[in-house]
Chains A and B, each alone.
Chain A
Amino acid sequence: MAQHRQVLLKNIDFPDQAQLSGYESRDGYKSMRKALGIAPAELVELVKKSGLRGRGGAGFPTGLKWSFVPQNTGKPIYVLMNADESEPGTFKDRLLLERDPHACIEGLMIAAHALNSEWACIYIRGEYTYAYTVLYKAIKECYENGYLGGNIFGSGRKLDMAIHRGAGAYICGEETALINSLEGKKGQPRLKPPFPAIQGLYDCPTVVNNVETLAALPFIIENGAEAYLAIGTEKSPGTKLFSASGHIKKPGVYEVELGYPLLDFLNNECGGMLEGSELKAVIPGGSSVPILRADELKNITLDYESLRDAGTLLGSGGFIVIDHKTDMVEMALNLAHFYAHESCGQCTPCREGGHWIEKIFNRVSSGAGLPGDIELILSACSQIAGHTICPFGDALATPAQSFIQKFPEEFKERIKDLL
């Protein structure tokens, strides 16, 4: 039996976990104290060895990302926590931020130490006002106790931390858009290279890590890379938070050991389908990853490799379960509207294409679809994906393409009705 809640959520139910006293009573800030005794370069190696991958969606190895940061430029280095959680179906970071803010802060401190950074910042989405107040208080407690400021933990090192509220732009979850937003600009992604590790915030070397990634660091420092590698699968070590929603009995955030069978997760943790609901489809990693039909789920396990082989992605772990009564055309339209609305407007294919796809889906959904509309959507998608500065173009095209590909009969039927 897989042991699930061992890294991220093990203390989540304690009512005083959000307070410094409660957090410290359960070994809080022990890892940071330990990390201060380790040379930064060794910390980077340790995290590399642990196999920790970015939990925001892309799954890029965290230690490797850190190792790209040059230490000899003479410029300050910045570490940013990406708490701009906006991917539809994803609400895992909010739980961590609200219930265990010090774990997130400790992770950010460790990252800052590993990278020799003296200024770290949390970029939190604007809607998360409650999480903001919790974090604000937690950071204040850290300053009051000398855990942040000019001489952290009495080590002689300096670290300042700020929180920056976003204001309702999905795209600011993309790391270069986040950096632009933090510089006081519109949240529009940058061309890469140069990557943020070389030229990020204020043109200085910068690392942006997801909340969940950072929150796993205290465990890795405390227990070592081997302990983390021992959890999960060989290629996907560790645990991952899944945000389960849709037509299931027990929606919520679950910590799952990577490699756990998808159907077990659905039937055990999620409590199975609602009464009167039959499983039709699952989106396993947030709205931007391809959808899976019920008949495709059998041998899939929840890890990066298995989901990739099944033609989808682990993404952010937004696990959306859809039942047999759902109108897939309407849901495709719903997502098309989301992406059309959230496009930052920088690249023409995405800015214009998003609205065209929505319009055509709208036509199909309302029963006024024309012969050739499906092909038209697919052709628009193929001209958006891969032709934009950031992956938003791909994220926009993916659900449109996969909904049509997996449920073609529903789309065709809507058009046939007209003829």
Chain B
Amino acid sequence: VSAPIDESLPKSSLGKGSLNVINSVASENVISKSEGGFPLEDGFVSDAELEAKAEEVLARYPQQFAAKYSSAVMPLLYLVQERAGYISNKGVTWVADLLHTAPVRVLEIATFYTMYHRKPTGYYHIQLCRTLPCALVGAKDVGSYIKDRISKDNPLIEGRKLWSYEEVECLGSCGTAPLCQINDLYFEKLNTVKVKDLMNSLADTAHSIVANARLIGEELRLSSIQESFGNGILKFPPSQIR
């Protein structure tokens, strides 16, 4: 259906060319016919590398119970999401086959847990914490700014939206509230001025750096931006997560 992500690309210099490659996966999903709001046809493709990762994940759990329980279902779903940016029906089937279980057993996990996305997200997926400690110190204003900005200006870059936004429950960083998580990183002690600067920087760099760490496993070069926003704790970028 579509080309898998080209791993031969030099990871340190992923420029516009590589965005094209990623988007060939994502854009197909967006334009395909859908059922119940979810893309039906999708570009999820497994390959030797992904199969090897899956093997490693399956080996983590006590083998004597592996036939009866699907402990690896959550990390396997993360592998799918990392590859395709969201969890497509093909991805669900791939996981079910690995676990020798019915796809619906995997689907119920993918829909129960909120961190699995059944639709493609934007390059930058903003999750704003809305719970009490953040609400006490101004999360609502930050949220209003983000929502307002995205409603007015959310360019489609090669088939994929720049931003997506959701309000989430307590992110466990109430001491540096209000905060949001963008892709894998926390951006803390926000206010409307800081979030505006942050979004400006991210929008400027969107075309030149890889926006989504989950897609590529590339070290996220947002760290310099993050440091300038005074997030002392998360100094260096997370490596590939699974």
Interface residues of A (CB under 8 A from B): 76, 85-91, 93-94, 98, 119, 125-130, 132-133, 162, 164-170, 181-187, 202, 243-247, 251-253, 283, 287, 318, 320, 322, 326, 330-331, 334-335, 337-338, 341-342
Across the interface, do A98 and B233 meet the contact criterion of CB distance under 8 Å?
A: yes
Across the interface, do B169 and A184 meet the contact criterion of CB distance under 8 Å?
A: no
Q: Which of B64, B72, B137 is within 8 Å of A246, CB to CB?
A: B137
A160 CB to nearest chain B CB (Å): 8
Across the interface, do B69 and A184 meet the contact criterion of CB distance under 8 Å?
A: yes
Across the interface, do B136 and A88 meet the contact criterion of CB distance under 8 Å?
A: no
Check A187/B112 contact, CB under 8 A, given A91-B174, A133-B241, A320-B136: yes
Closest to B113 in A: A167
Q: A127-B172, A184-B72, A252-B175 known; 10 other A-B pairs, CB under 8 Å? A: A88-B170, A129-B241, A130-B184, A130-B234, A133-B239, A164-B75, A184-B99, A245-B133, A331-B136, A335-B131
Number of A-B contacts (CB under 8 A): 154
Interface residues of B (CB under 8 A from A): 60-62, 64-65, 68-75, 77-78, 99, 108-109, 112-116, 130-133, 135-137, 168-177, 181, 184-186, 233-234, 238-239, 241
Q: Which of B130, B168, B241 is within 8 Å of A168, CB to CB?
A: B168
Check A162/B78 contact, CB under 8 A, given A168-B115, A246-B137, A251-B174: no
Across the interface, do B62 and A76 meet the contact criterion of CB distance under 8 Å?
A: yes
Q: Which of A91, A119, A244, A337 is within 8 Å of B172, CB to CB?
A: A91
Q: How far is the CA of A64 from the CA of B16 in the complex (A)?
A: 59
Q: List 28 A-B contacts (CB under 8 A).
A: A87-B170, A88-B133, A88-B169, A89-B174, A91-B174, A94-B172, A98-B233, A129-B185, A164-B71, A165-B78, A167-B116, A168-B168, A184-B70, A184-B73, A184-B74, A185-B109, A243-B175, A245-B133, A245-B136, A247-B137, A251-B174, A251-B175, A252-B175, A320-B132, A322-B136, A326-B136, A334-B130, A338-B170
Across the interface, do B132 and A287 meet the contact criterion of CB distance under 8 Å?
A: yes
Q: Which of A86, A98, A129, A253 is within 8 Å of B175, CB to CB?
A: A253
Across the interface, do B137 and A162 meet the contact criterion of CB distance under 8 Å?
A: no
Q: How far is the CA of A139 from the CA of B70 in the complex (A)?
A: 23
B69 CB to nearest chain A CB (Å): 5
Across the interface, do B130 and A183 meet the contact criterion of CB distance under 8 Å?
A: no
Across the interface, do B71 and A166 meet the contact criterion of CB distance under 8 Å?
A: no
Q: How far is the CA of A140 from the CA of B60 in the complex (A)?
A: 13
Check A165/B74 contact, CB under 8 A, given A130-B238, A132-B241, A245-B175: yes
Check A244/B131 contact, CB under 8 A, given A184-B74, A186-B109, A331-B136: no
B-side contacts of A342, CB under 8 Å: 169
B-side contacts of A128, CB under 8 Å: 172
Q: How far is the CA of A294 from the CA of B132 in the complex (A)?
A: 18
Across the interface, do A127 and B115 meet the contact criterion of CB distance under 8 Å?
A: yes
- B-side interface mostly: loop
Q: How far is the CA of A244 from the CA of B174 in the complex (A)?
A: 8
Across the interface, do A164 and B74 meet the contact criterion of CB distance under 8 Å?
A: yes
Q: How far is the CA of A56 from the CA of B215 in the complex (A)?
A: 34
Across the interface, do B69 and A129 meet the contact criterion of CB distance under 8 Å?
A: no
Across the interface, do B170 and A86 meet the contact criterion of CB distance under 8 Å?
A: yes
B-side contacts of A283, CB under 8 Å: 132
Q: Which of A94, A166, A318, A322 is within 8 Å of B113, CB to CB?
A: A166
Across the interface, do A129 and B113 meet the contact criterion of CB distance under 8 Å?
A: no
Across the interface, do A338 and B131 meet the contact criterion of CB distance under 8 Å?
A: yes
A336 CB to nearest chain B CB (Å): 11
Closest to A203 in B: B65
A101 CB to nearest chain B CB (Å): 14
Across the interface, do A166 and B174 meet the contact criterion of CB distance under 8 Å?
A: no
B-side contacts of A341, CB under 8 Å: 169
Q: Which of B109, B116, B130, B181 is within 8 Å of A127, CB to CB?
A: B181
B-side contacts of A335, CB under 8 Å: 131-132
Q: Which of B70, B73, B132, B234 is within 8 Å of A338, CB to CB?
A: B132
A-side contacts of B115, CB under 8 Å: 126-127, 166-168
A-side contacts of B241, CB under 8 Å: 129, 132-133, 165
B-side contacts of A127, CB under 8 Å: 115, 171-172, 181
B-side contacts of A243, CB under 8 Å: 174-175
A215 CB to nearest chain B CB (Å): 16
B-side contacts of A162, CB under 8 Å: 60-61
B103 CB to nearest chain A CB (Å): 14
Q: How far is the CA of A158 from the CA of B181 in the complex (A)?
A: 38
Across the interface, do A169 and B175 meet the contact criterion of CB distance under 8 Å?
A: no
Q: How far is the CA of A91 from the CA of B172 in the complex (A)?
A: 5
Check A334/B176 contact, CB under 8 A, given A127-B115, A247-B136: no
